[in-house]
Amino acid sequence: MAEKNVSLMCFHDELCLVFNAMMTALSLLRNGAHVTVFFGSRGVNALHKDKVGSLSCLPDQPKLGAEVMKRMDEMDLPPLEDLFFMFTHEGGEVLACPLNVPLFGMSEHDLIEGAKLADPSHYYKEVVIPADMNLTF
């Protein structure tokens, strides 16, 4: 079977969405796909080394969000930091939007290990356009 190329884009910093994006990306990677995850808009906050551990689910609904976070803990799901580590160390690529990083007061030095700034001309031409699947979160 031919290897599939997957482009996954995440534009949010809400933990449930980022977690689902990274679980999807890791599952695809472990099933033989070449996977690139691009974080744009508020999603770049999920790549900030000082913010990644404090993302929350449903921040606009604190009571429900706290219940979801409690259930995630009870299910013994891996922390988001571990998902990023596993994904990049198993060959996945994590990219941050070079326009949104400074827009949200960040620099490349603020990014988690394994994440790097995207080169838009390369990213769209070499990743998005030829991808077999383009997924968004």
Domain ranges in the chain are 5-136
Going residue by residue through the chain (137 aa), what tens digit of pLDDT does each one get?
Answer: 568 999 999 999 999 999 999 999 999 999 999 999 999 999 999 999 999 999 999 988 999 989 998 999 899 999 999 999 999 999 999 999 999 999 999 999 999 999 999 998 899 999 999 999 999 99
Q: Which residue has the tokens 């449903």?
A: 58
Topology (CATH) of 5-136: Hypothetical Protein Ychn; Chain: A, (3.40.1260)
Concatenate the DSSP letters of all residues of 99-130 into one string. Answer: THHHHTT--GGGBPTTEEE--HHHIIIIIITT
* Rounded-to-integer distance, Cα 108 and Cα 116, Å: 7
Distance of CA 41 to the CA centre of its chain: 12
